[in-house]
Structure 1
Amino acid sequence: MFSSLIVAKMDPASAARVATIFADFDSTDMPRVMGTRRRELFTYQGLYFHLQDFESDHGTDRIEAAKRDERFVRISADLRPYITAYDQNWRTPADAMATRFYHWSAS
């Protein structure tokens, strides 16, 4: 399994709208197409955290391929008014991904 964590800025008052946008997206087959097994969204003091677990470490390849899908383009546009880059040098979602430096799981 592969996990990614995107960090951005979001007004906490937008949480319900952002959740609805993702619920609509996740009700399609796009999570399967992207290999997404789990998605969790968090907010903390104006920050947005988007945790995704993928079936394999090829999740980023599948996301890159999905970016051309109309549904992916639409959700990106729908989220734009609510979520902004944490780092103003942001160019792609990869620029917003946190780097995991420790992992533990029960055996």
Structure 2
Amino acid sequence: MITIRTVSVEHWHIGREIRLAALAGSPPGTFGSTLEEAVAWPDQRWRQWVSDRVLVVAERAGSVVGSAALVRDADDRPMRTDYETGWNTSCRTRAGGTATALRLDVARNNNTSSTLSHT
């Protein structure tokens, strides 16, 4: 069973794990920071990174199997959505509606359209 939940700033370490996994599994230049840079961030920077977005995770048996984030601009307007699904998971999870559930939860929690674009 997949559980969808929002990650609070108090659980910033989950955001760090997700981001580092995404950076480690992507070609250089894919994201605004590199794995080497992010590994060196202090805890406070990670707390800020999580607080700058609404981070929603999909979990199965206590492990994160996907995530979605709504990133906001300085005026607190939705800027973009980021999705990381399919890492650390099986094909059954990737095909089981996890991405749709994450997208809808991000939209519902932020009063935005459920047709958020993938970036």
Indicate whether the TM-score tops 0.5: no
TM-score (norm 1): 0.31
TM-score (norm 2): 0.29
